[in-house]
Structure 1
Amino acid sequence: MLIDDAADLSLSDPGPIELSRGLLERLETTRYAALAALTAGAPVYGVTTGMGALSKVRLNDAEQRVHQRNLLQARAAGGEPWLPPMEARAVVLARLRTFLTGDAAVSPELCLQLVAMLNSGLVPAIPASGAGSAGEIIPLAHAFGPLIGIGSFLTMPAKGVLPPFELGPKEGIALLAGIPGCTGRAWLQVENAQRLSKNLSLIAAGAIAVIGANRDPYNPLCGRGDDLLAAELELILQLAGPEPAPRTLQSPVSFRVAGQVISHLKRSVARLDEAVQRALTGVTDSPAFLDGDFVGTAGFHGLDLAAHCDQLVAALAHTAEVSTARMHRLLDPAVTGLPAQLTTAPGPQAGLVTVHKRAVATSHYLRRLALPSAIGSLETSNGQEDVQSFGWEAVGVLTEAVRLTREVAACELLTVHQAFALSERPVPAGLQELFGEIANVVPPILEDRPYGVDLAALLEYVV
């Protein structure tokens, strides 16, 4: 992947990264101008001064020469559990992408060092929690400390670590600045949530089809004024297919509101994606080198990302609750016309009742995660940092919420699969590919068995 502009850098392309000559030259020009600005003698936060409550302290030349390394060393206060490799890689990739805008005014050599880390497969050990500051200095110290010989890696390819990099002026604070952690991790979760939301449309359509639900609620005309809702209703209608003889005039509410619930989820994902793009292209470094001068900014606050992570968590929690409610109705013969609890022998066999109970517990846990992260700021740095958005924590909660909603989706998918197996209703044409995939990993359910094995297979191969 040849990168000529910051926007060319993609999370979804796992191939080797190469920075174009033109991009490196532009970075070199910016770096030269920034170094020239430093010689003017005006104080520059974190470069010629201390940080936080010590920002009033001016550093002499000798102190400045070791200061950038010390910044990373003194702030690596985190510990296990570490981020999974995919999330850790996303943090590094987001920091590289924002470096390529030139705001951080780092050297091309530092950018190439990050490229070398990404291309080598080395993944830094980054703490999953404990970022209690106005920004992400603790996790970022762990993310980039290994560049200078501090910290550790999660993975270690046969060719070993990279040679230690010697940081130049401003490059230590640049590695700690901004919100690349929240940005990279949210970037990754947007992709995960997009895949999940597509699967949820299919699963809901399957549930609607297998109970013979009245199709009126999915008429695209019901989405007037909301193009996203209208499109979701049309999609569900196409996937579920027509139903000339619905079982009842009105299905349970959990079936009727599928379009509203999933379209809201998709809208929340899209809004987070927009916030991620703003974070990738906006000014988040402080100080940032803008129009030839160092400018102190507040881009590290990251409220935009934190708030949209919170919104998506709430949407996921509601989606999981509605999915869990549909599952309960699918176990009820009064709704489906099928054997109780979707078993071949009600009484001697328990059926899928415990699969629903797993979904209930998971939905309850999700509900507890829906507290907004940005509520309840705490002071640090002797009051210098008197508010914070807790974006790092917000995206951590989102990651867990996506995982838990996938679990609920797998539970409903298994339930719908079994309902079709016991029903005379055929799988609609729009859903045959999905249920064909399920048949490849889930053997026919003819009697009770450990359903956790089936759910694990669905999570790995289907959902």
Structure 2
Amino acid sequence: MNKVIIGRPEDLDRTVIAAVARGACHLELAPGLVGALTRSRRSTLAALEGRVVYGVNTGMGAMSGLRLDAEAQRRHQDNLMIGRAVGSAPWLRRDQARALLAARLRTFLDPAAGVSPELCRRLADLLNADVVPAIPARGSGAAGEIIPLAHAGAALLGVGQVLDAGPIGAGGAVDASSAFAEAGLAPRSFGPKEGIAFLEGVPGLTGLAVLGSAAARVLIDQVVVGAAASHTVIRASLDPLQPALADSDELRVVLESLRDLRGKAEPGALQAPVSFRVTAPALAVAMRAVAGVEAAVDRALNAVTDSPAHLDGEFVGTFGFAGTDLTASLGALTTALVHLAELGAARLHRLLDPRVTGLAPQLSHSPGLHAGMAAVHKRAAGVTHRLRRFAVPALTGAIETSLGQEDVQSFGFEAAECLDEVLTGLRDVLACELLAVVQAQRLGAPSSSTLDDIDAALPPGTADRPFGRDLDRIVSLLSAGTARGAADDQFGTEQGRPAG
């Protein structure tokens, strides 16, 4: 496994975070960075002397006016985790929780956090040993990520839970203490200010955005391939793909890819259905939305997320826990992907129309006796309808908590969950379209080689069969990265696409 040596905070960028999330590399903190962390920690501890600092020698939230005595302060940083670990399953997936830890580590490398190099090393140790805290995926209704981060912190203390190392979904969560012992690790308490630092910021949302944007790039490129294959089946006019229509780099890439993949068959009609003609700009919008999420991630990784942050010798309350930028950008991407699903369902419906394709109605093996792709389209319609509810912006809907101390939330985890649901649904709709394209090609429609892997994975023939099994196979292939064209390489390289 590759080792990545982190010599400065910027080295742990979204590309590395994505690789860490997949378990594709080990992290090591360079001696120079450890030295810098040691100095910032020493400076932070010195600045704490004789000061009233929120969350260090005071209560939290509405209890911030209560001063803690010396004995209470010694227990306080650990207690911050234990009493706030109120979540339950469903847990974040293993890659999602690892992305959270990696993003948390990145923000701790900023001197403003003032945490010890030992805490940073412990996070790297957990990732390298693949001991992954069980972190709730839902119910984080706070100004920030206090509840999910408390679960991660409780795991470090040895009193929380970690994900079972077995197959996904096999065992759920197990006690952290036993997992630590098996990995040769020991639980670790939080030192002065380290507990409040651990609970602040939006590392979970940041990590989830890294994974979501990477998955969206792959899926958008697969939609390009699927849309081009549908264009080929109906012999759509090339007019809407003319280079002169490009008003942005993203649209230029999409138009080029669709033209390259479209095939050479002469147009079958003067104009293609609208769903075919407007696919290119919709794909360009989605590409811009992905870039917007990636830019928001970069800003989050470089921002001061601690509150209070140690800045120029003072402790300053900040807004680094808000997650507004990331939540808004995830909402924009989610909406763009829902629209792609709507267009995919519409294109699929046109593929069933003999007036558009010149093939048998419903792409049926024997019209009347065999249903063909009619029920496949119904599945796509049902999935698309379900996705629309996830396009509701998560940024709205503030609810007061903590006796009014927290009167606004960004609901970032909810925004990430909406994106994840839409990625899954769009992949499902695309699988339905690709199955119809393969069926059409087997019935004599113009074809290209872009879907050869998918065609080969399906049973032979065009007669009715339990097509749900075919769709499961296609979804698995898409999840593994099959059916990708040139758009991802061109656009992803220009935008610094993260590994994933």
Q: TM-score, normalised by structure 1?
A: 0.96
Letter in 2 for 1:6: P
Change over 3 Å in CA distance of 1:198–1:456 after alignment to 2: same
Q: Is the 8 A contact 1:438 1:462 kept in 2?
A: no
1:142-161 to 2 correspondence within 5 Å? Answer: 142-156=151-165, 159-160=182-183
Give the Cα–Cα distance (whole angstroms) in 1 for the partners of residues 111 and 214 of structure 2: 26
Letter in 2 for 1:53: A
Tell me which of 456, 472, 476 is aligned to 1:456. 472
Structure 2 gap ranges (5+): 166-178, 480-500
Give the Cα–Cα distance (whole angstroms) in 2 for the partners of residues 400 and 425 of structure 1: 33
Structure 2 residue 50 is matched with structure 1 residue 37: no
Name the SS of the counterpart of 1:77 in structure 2.
Answer: coil
Give the Cα–Cα distance (whole angstroms) in 1 for the partners of residues 329 and 419 of structure 2: 10
- Offset, 1:341: 1.2
1:156-235 to 2 correspondence within 5 Å? Answer: 156=165, 159-160=182-183, 162-223=185-246, 225-235=247-257
- Offset, 1:421: 1.7
Letter in 1 for 2:437: V
- Offset, 1:6: 2.0
Tell me which of 293, 304, 318 is aligned to 1:272. 293
Letter in 2 for 1:294: F
Match of residue 109 from structure 1: 118
Name the SS of the counterpart of 2:192 in structure 1.
Answer: coil
Q: Is the 8 A contact 1:210 1:423 kept in 2?
A: no
Q: Is the 8 A contact 1:344 1:447 kept in 2?
A: yes
- Spell out, residue by residue over 1:119-139, the C-alpha distance to the aligned partner (whole angstroms, 9 max, x if none): 111111111100111011001
Give the Cα–Cα distance (whole angstroms) in 2 for the partners of residues 89 and 19 of structure 1: 17
Give the Cα–Cα distance (whole angstroms) in 2 for the partners of residues 426 and 22 of structure 1: 57
Name the SS of the counterpart of 1:462 in structure 2.
Answer: helix
Query: How many residues end up aligned between the 2 structures?
Result: 455
1:314-463 to 2 correspondence within 5 Å? Answer: 314-427=335-448, 432=449, 434-463=450-479
Return structure 1 stretches of 4+ with deviation > 3 angstroms. Answer: none
Structure 2 residue 60 is matched with structure 1 residue 47: no
Give the Cα–Cα distance (whole angstroms) in 1 for the partners of residues 134 and 79 of structure 2: 19
Give the Cα–Cα distance (whole angstroms) in 1 for the partners of residues 277 and 32 of structure 2: 55
Structure 2 residue 80 is matched with structure 1 residue 74: no
- The farther-off stretch of 106-115 and 147-156 is 147-156
- Spell out, residue by residue over 1:293-326, the C-alpha distance to the aligned partner (whole angstroms, 9 max, x if none): 2211011111101111111111111110000000
Structure 2 residue 80 is matched with structure 1 residue 91: no
Match of residue 57 from structure 1: 66
Q: Is the 8 A contact 1:121 1:155 kept in 2?
A: no
Give the Cα–Cα distance (whole angstroms) in 1 for the partners of residues 195 and 447 of structure 2: 62
Change over 3 Å in CA distance of 1:95–1:327 after alignment to 2: same
Q: Is the 8 A contact 2:200 2:320 kept in 1?
A: no
Structure 1 gap ranges (5+): none
Letter in 2 for 1:264: V
Give the Cα–Cα distance (whole angstroms) in 1 for the partners of residues 258 and 311 of structure 2: 49
Name the SS of the counterpart of 2:96 in structure 1.
Answer: helix
- Offset, 1:424: 4.4
- The farther-off stretch of 298-307 and 446-455 is 446-455
Name the SS of the counterpart of 2:163 in structure 1.
Answer: strand
Name the SS of the counterpart of 1:2 in structure 2.
Answer: strand
Tell me which of 5, 17, 26 is aligned to 2:27. 17
- Offset, 1:439: 2.5
Change over 3 Å in CA distance of 1:250–1:304 after alignment to 2: same
Q: Is the 8 A contact 2:286 2:337 kept in 1?
A: yes
Q: Is the 8 A contact 1:437 1:462 kept in 2?
A: no
Letter in 2 for 1:418: Q
Match of residue 7 from structure 2: 4
Percent identity over paired residues:
49
Change over 3 Å in CA distance of 1:330–1:109 after alignment to 2: same
Name the SS of the counterpart of 1:387 in structure 2.
Answer: coil
Give the Cα–Cα distance (whole angstroms) in 2 for the partners of residues 445 and 294 of structure 1: 70
Structure 2 residue 37 is matched with structure 1 residue 27: yes
Give the Cα–Cα distance (whole angstroms) in 2 for the partners of residues 353 and 8 of structure 1: 51
Name the SS of the counterpart of 1:17 in structure 2.
Answer: strand
Give the Cα–Cα distance (whole angstroms) in 1 for the partners of residues 153 and 455 of structure 2: 45
Structure 2 residue 262 is matched with structure 1 residue 237: no
Give the Cα–Cα distance (whole angstroms) in 2 for the partners of residues 444 and 260 of structure 1: 35
- Spell out, residue by residue over 1:351-390, the C-alpha distance to the aligned partner (whole angstroms, 9 max, x if none): 1111111111110010111111111201011111111111
Letter in 2 for 1:210: V
Give the Cα–Cα distance (whole angstroms) in 2 for the partners of residues 15 and 269 of structure 1: 24
Give the Cα–Cα distance (whole angstroms) in 2 for the partners of residues 102 and 343 of structure 1: 65
Tell me which of 328, 331, 335 is aligned to 1:307. 328
Give the Cα–Cα distance (whole angstroms) in 1 for the partners of residues 264 and 279 of structure 2: 16
Give the Cα–Cα distance (whole angstroms) in 1 for the partners of residues 94 and 147 of structure 2: 18
- Spell out, residue by residue over 1:4-29, the C-alpha distance to the aligned partner (whole angstroms, 9 max, x if none): 12222212322111111111111111
Give the Cα–Cα distance (whole angstroms) in 1 for the partners of residues 456 and 31 of structure 2: 49
Change over 3 Å in CA distance of 1:393–1:161 after alignment to 2: farther
- Offset, 1:150: 2.0
Name the SS of the counterpart of 2:201 in structure 1.
Answer: coil
Q: Is the 8 A contact 2:427 2:478 kept in 1?
A: no
Q: Is the 8 A contact 2:263 2:447 kept in 1?
A: no
Letter in 1 for 2:87: G
Name the SS of the counterpart of 1:299 in structure 2.
Answer: coil
Q: Is the 8 A contact 1:213 1:251 kept in 2?
A: yes
Tell me which of 93, 118, 138 is aligned to 1:129. 138
